[in-house]
């Protein structure tokens, strides 16, 4: 399971019990340096929500009672995924959260999947050790376009990674990002571009991962 492999398990996390006060929670947050931590029930098995440092600070600055239970300012109680959730569900749920709580097969707290861990996993597709260029190829999004583009590129190099953007019914142009493997020569790159555009696919951007520059296909 891909999600499970990315999770930080609860045994390694800083968490708080639902019975502690806001004052106690603030000390734990300040000592740990985290901006928010999970709130668990007394058994440490059930996820209740998250407590954010900023919400406690705001409450305190307004003269709020710091002896209230931490659940008073609890957030994200329903923001959870399962260890066997499909990967796309992570994107719909994590959004602007620093992490999302992960539950096991019995709906007990298993750990968290952080935003940074997710981004790190995605960035592996552009690993400089195995990649050279990223081609952004525009197409109409018609059935079979992705297969056609992949076949053209695969005649000359293997495809290190592929991401398709704008996959909505109302989008006129579909962008597909193909990562080419390390060692791809400029001559091969030019040939791939020529073959793609001969089939009416438009290479709108070429990213050189080694130099960090965007290349102009007309001056290659």
Q: How high is the pLDDT of residue 44?
A: 95
Reported as a single tens digit per residue, the pLDDT across 77-134 is 999 999 988 877 787 788 888 999 999 999 999 999 998 888 887 777 667 678 999 9
Are 200 and 137 contained in the same domain?
Answer: yes
Domain boundary among 69, 100, 121: 121
Q: How high is the pLDDT of residue 163?
A: 86
Domain span at residue 214 reads 127-219
CA dihedral 12, 17, 22, 25 (to 10 degrees): -20
Domain boundary among 121, 156, 188: 121
Q: How high is the pLDDT of residue 24?
A: 98
CATH of the domain at 173: 3.30.70.260
Are 115 and 177 contained in the same domain?
Answer: no
Are 7 and 80 contained in the same domain?
Answer: yes
Q: How high is the pLDDT of residue 39?
A: 98
pTM comes to 0.72
- Region of residue 217 (phi > 0: left; psi between -120 and 50: alpha; otherwise: beta): alpha
Q: How high is the pLDDT of residue 137?
A: 96
CA dihedral 186, 188, 190, 194 (to 10 degrees): 180
Calculate the alpha carbon distances from 88 to 63, 95, 121, 166 in Å.
Answer: 42, 12, 14, 15
Q: How high is the pLDDT of residue 178?
A: 95
Q: How high is the pLDDT of residue 1?
A: 55
- Taking the C-alpha atoms of residue 185 and residue 140, their distance in angstroms, rounded to an integer, is 28
Pairing state of beta strands 36-40 and 47-52? Answer: antiparallel
CATH of the domain at 60: 3.10.580.10
Which regions in the chain score pLDDT beneath 70? 1-2, 125-126, 128, 167-171
């Amino acid at each position: 399971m891909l999600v499970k492999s990315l999770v930080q398990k609860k045994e390694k996390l800083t968490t708080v019990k639902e019975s502690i006060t806001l004052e106690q929670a603030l000390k734990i947050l300040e000592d740990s340096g985290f901006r928010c931590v999970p709130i668990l029930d007394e058994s440490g098995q059930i996820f209740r929500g998250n407590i954010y440092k900023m919400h406690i600070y705001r409450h305190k600055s307004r003269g709020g009672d710091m002896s209230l239970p931490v659940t008073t300012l609890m957030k994200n109680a329903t923001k959870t995924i399962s260890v066997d959730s499909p990967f796309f569900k992570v994107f719909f749920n994590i959004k602007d959260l620093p992490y999302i709580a992960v539950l096991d097969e019995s709906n007990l707290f298993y750990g968290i999947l952080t935003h940074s861990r997710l981004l790190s996993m995605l960035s592996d597709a552009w690993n400089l050790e195995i990649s050279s260029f990223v081609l952004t190829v525009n197409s109409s999004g018609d059935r079979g376009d992705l297969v056609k583009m992949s076949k053209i590129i695969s005649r000359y190099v293997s495809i290190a990674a592929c991401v398709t953007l704008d996959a909505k019914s109302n989008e006129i142009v579909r962008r597909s990002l193909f990562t080419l493997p390390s060692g791809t020569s400029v001559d091969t790159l030019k040939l791939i571009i020529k073959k793609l555009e001969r089939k009416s696919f438009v290479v709108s951007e070429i990213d050189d991962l080694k130099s960090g520059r965007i290349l102009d296909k007309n001056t290659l």
